[in-house]
Amino acid sequence: MTALVFLDADVSTGRIANAATAQLSVLDQGVTRGDGIFESMLYTKGVVRKIDAHLARLRVSASTCDLILPHEERWRAAISTAVAAFDAATPSDEAVVKLVATRGPEGTSEGTCWVMVSAAAESGRLQRENGVSVMLLDRGYDSRAAERAPWLLMGAKTLSYAVNMAALRHAKKQGVDEVIFTSSDGIVLEGPTSTVLLAHRDGDIKRLITPTLETGILPGTTQGAIFEAARAAGWELGYGPLTPEHLMDADGVWLVSSIRLLAPVNSIDGTTLTLDRELHAELTAMVNNIA
Amino acid sequence: MTALVFLDADVSTGRIANAATAQLSVLDQGVTRGDGIFESMLYTKGVVRKIDAHLARLRVSASTCDLILPHEERWRAAISTAVAAFDAATPSDEAVVKLVATRGPEGTSEGTCWVMVSAAAESGRLQRENGVSVMLLDRGYDSRAAERAPWLLMGAKTLSYAVNMAALRHAKKQGVDEVIFTSSDGIVLEGPTSTVLLAHRDGDIKRLITPTLETGILPGTTQGAIFEAARAAGWELGYGPLTPEHLMDADGVWLVSSIRLLAPVNSIDGTTLTLDRELHAELTAMVNNIA
């Protein structure tokens, strides 16, 4: 069951709707043009995690895409309504709270905004527990494209995810679980729905590294939360440019995202990676404590 | 008024629906992931133009995206039903027939497919009559990306059009009508919703040129039809790689697409272009005769 709540100017707490019936216009530019933005948050143990970070990133995506969003308080109210409706119907250990804002039907100036809550797919938990095999795929863009071409909307989380989905299908056809995109000039970017982390241990020094945002990747809210916890725990933090060799040489590589949390990368392009179990346990504890 | 007909296994002629009410699930991957494909055809003087070419390109897009389409006869039947419903309600000189096929709601294996017919926007006619100012914008991809990275879905007409729409908004903010994308290595590609043509006259020889498909651009159905007519009229035909200098040096540059047809480019990045009026008249006659 999916709990669905539309943001509605007439209903301050949001308008509850039935997700099992049709609710959207075929003229909505969210579908005709993939023209909208979204966020996915984990709802577990009665808490929607990192809600501030996700609402902040939604605002950045909206600004990049020239979308005007309803006031943040209306999002928070709709999230509360949706979560309560979900809990009343089908409580679940882990659920996904998805926020969507589209440009609305063609010919109108009113966007369409909704919150939906549904049970998390099994795949996130499985990736977290078993790790993932990864293949590197070229994202086509060079690592300078984002700064010179803002109309490419890099760094915005838009509904135009067809390429991300195609990359995952391409990997699965080769029997591989996941993808890490590289730029056309060989720089490590991100997964289709995840951020890349790597770690090193050097005596007592633990170092956590993620690709630099200047490559045009999405700023990861989970990466951000882990970095904060790692800093507090005395880790050194670093920001790429990273090459595939950096991944191969690390003491651990992970894909992180809001729903799957922290999934260790077992192999890249068929080559088995090292995983320092102690680093993995420490990072897992950090990610489990994200509020 | 928009006439709307869903392809439906139970109704061979398609299921008529009300486009003014909600008809789509918020879980449809067409909206949650921009995961689907489309075509737009011109309906004028009782004829849906280039229907074979559009259905053929829809099949190529589906194959690129691993989508299984309903049989072509069901599309044709739904198009007939939609056009008849449109004519009965609001006949119009020029209408757009749009075909959409999405991957369907998450967790199902059934795609969502529909046909909608609505009056063509004034903008197409205006561009045709007045021409357009253009700015060149970097598409971020190099001209070899398509051949080495099929997961980028270049050459498929997907619903993930947010970048195309952002590029047009970017141009309009600078007071410019339209965009021609270039590759990161400086090759002319296509417009966000159009194909680029250029022509030269050299004594009695007339030559029509378009960018090569190897750059990953969408194969233009209107470009294809004009090339066929031009060949029959004795023109020489050529396929790029083209650079912006080729555009500047031409005796005419046009953006062509199914609804706007043939729009002359008046200027590129502020530089006024030449337009050979005779070539323009000849090409306009060809495009008006497309069936």
Determine contact, residues B106/B31, Cβ cutoff 8 Å.
no
B25 touches chain A (CB under 8 A): yes
Count the residues in chain A. Answer: 291
Residue B109: is its pLDDT beyond 90? Answer: no
Give the integer Cα–Cα distance in Å for B83 and B85.
Answer: 5
Closest residue in B to A17 (Cα) is B26
Please write the tens of the pLDDT for every residue from B180-202: 999 999 999 999 999 999 999 99
Burial of B193 per CB tally in 10 Å (0-12, 13-18, 19+): buried
A31 and B165: CB-CB below 8 Å?
no
Count the Cβ atoms, other than its own, within 10 Å of residue B200.
18
Residue B228 has pLDDT above 90, yes or no: yes
Rounded CA separation B99/B157 (Å):
11
Is the pLDDT at B125 greater than 90? The verdict is yes
CB contact under 8 A, B145 and A159: no
* SS3 assignment, position B282: helix
What is the least distance, in Å, from the CA of B81 to any CA of chain A? 17
Calculate how close chain A gets to B112, using CA atoms only, in Å. Answer: 11
Q: How many CB pairs under 8 A join A and B?
A: 179
How many CA atoms lie less than 13 Å away from B283 in the CB half-sphere? 32
Give strand pairing partners of B28. B105
Q: Does A66 touch chain B (CB under 8 A)?
A: yes
Where in chain B are the domains?
3-120, 125-288
Report yes or no: A39 at the B interface, CB cutoff 8 Å.
no
| Residue A221 CB contacts under 8 Å (≥ 6 apart), including other chains | A50, A53, A54, A57, A258
* CB contacts, 8 Å: B139 with chain A: 149, 152
Q: What chain B residue is nearest to A1 in terms of C-alpha separation?
A: B27
Amino acid occupying residue B244: P
pLDDT of residue A108: 87
Q: What is the DSSP string of A107-128?
A: T-S--EEEEEEEEPPHHHHHHH
Averaged pLDDT, B209-214: 97
Please give the residue of chain B at the shortest CA–CA distance from A105. Answer: B20
Q: Would strands A252-257 and A112-119 be described as parallel, antiparallel, or unpaired?
A: unpaired
Q: Do you know the residue count of chain B?
A: 291
Low-confidence ranges of chain A (pLDDT < 50): none
pLDDT value at residue A109 = 83
* SS3 (DSSP) at B281: helix
Q: Does A62 touch chain B (CB under 8 A)?
A: no
Q: What is the pLDDT of residue A250?
A: 98
Give strand ranges (E) for B19-141: 36-44, 47-48, 94-102, 112-119, 132-138
Residue B108: pLDDT above 90?
A: no
Q: Residues B112-117: what's their mean pLDDT? A: 98
Q: Which of A30, A152, A162 sits opposite B153 (nearest CB)?
A: A162
Using alpha carbons only, give the angle A67, A69, A73 rounded to the nearest 5 degrees.
Answer: 165
Burial A184-196 (b: 16+ CB within 10 A, else e): bbebbbbbbbbbb
C-alpha–C-alpha distance, residues A36 and A192, integer Å: 17
Is the per-residue pLDDT at B291 higher than 90? no
Q: What is the CA radius of gyration of chain A?
A: 19
Distance set, CA B28 to CA A124, A288, B6, B112 (Å): 21, 31, 14, 8
Q: What distance in Å separates the CA atoms of residue B216 and residue B193, rounded to the nearest whole number?
A: 14
- B151 closest CB neighbour out of A66, A102, A167: A167
Over residues B57-75, the mean pLDDT reads: 97
ipTM, interface predicted TM-score of the complex: 0.96
Instruction: Determine the Cα–Cα distance for residues B212 and B242; give it in Å rounded to an integer.
Output: 8
Of A145, A161, A170, the CB nearest to B140: A145
Angle at B276 between CA B274 and CA B279, to 5 degrees: 140
Which chain A residue's Cα is nearest to B37? A32
Residues paired with residue A42 on neighbouring β-strands, in sequence order: A96
Distance (Å, whole) CA B244 – CA B187: 7
**Cβ pair B72, B8 in contact under 8 A:** no
| CA-CA-CA-CA torsion sign (A228, A229, A234, A240) | negative
Question: Under 8 Å CB-to-CB from B163, ≥6 apart: which residues?
Answer: A151, A152, A153, A160, B192
Residue with tokens 């075929």: A26
Q: Which of B25, B161, B163 sits opposite A152 (nearest CB)?
A: B163
Q: Percent of chain B scored above 90 by pLDDT?
A: 97
Mean pLDDT of B274-289: 96
Per the CATH hierarchy, to which homologous superfamily does domain A125-288 belong? Answer: D-amino Acid Aminotransferase, subunit A, domain 2 (3.20.10.10)
B281 touches chain A (CB under 8 A): no
**Mutate which of B4, B141, B151 to disrupt the A interface (most A C-beta within 10 Å)?**
B151
User: By the CB < 8 Å criterion, does B159 face chain A?
Assistant: yes
Sequence-ordered alpha helix ranges (H) in chain A:
29-32, 51-64, 72-89, 122-130, 145-148, 162-173, 221-232, 244-248, 277-288
pLDDT of residue A91: 81
User: Which of A24, A34, A116 has its CB closest to that of B34?
Assistant: A34
Joined together, the tokens standing for residue B78 give 């739904």
| A141/B35 Cβ within 8 A | no
Is B184 an 8 Å CB contact of chain A?
yes
The reply to whether B31 touches chain A by the CB within 8 Å rule is yes
For residues A147 and A61, give the distance between their C-alpha atoms in angstroms, rounded to a whole number: 16
Q: Is A251 left (phi over 0), alpha (psi -120 to 50) or beta?
A: alpha
**CATH number 3.30.470.10 given to A3-120:** yes
Residue A28: closest CA among chain B residues belongs to which residue? B31
Chain mean pLDDT for chain B = 97
Pick the residue from chain A with its C-alpha nearest to B193.
A33
**Among candidates B26, B35, B98 on the partner chain, residue whose Cβ is nearest the Cβ of A162:** B35
Residues 6+ apart with CB under 8 A from A189: A139, A143, A180, A181, A182, A183, A196, A211, A215, A216, A217
Please tell me the distance from the alpha carbon of residue A127 to that of residue B184, in angstroms, as a whole number. Answer: 36
Give DSSP secondary structure letters for B13-34. Answer: EEEEEETTS--B-TTBHHHHS-
B39 → chain A, closest CA residue: A32
% of chain B at pLDDT higher than 70: 100
3-state secondary structure of A230: helix
Which of A98, A162, A167 minimises the CB distance to B34? A162
CA distance linking residue A73 with residue A274, whole number of Å: 45
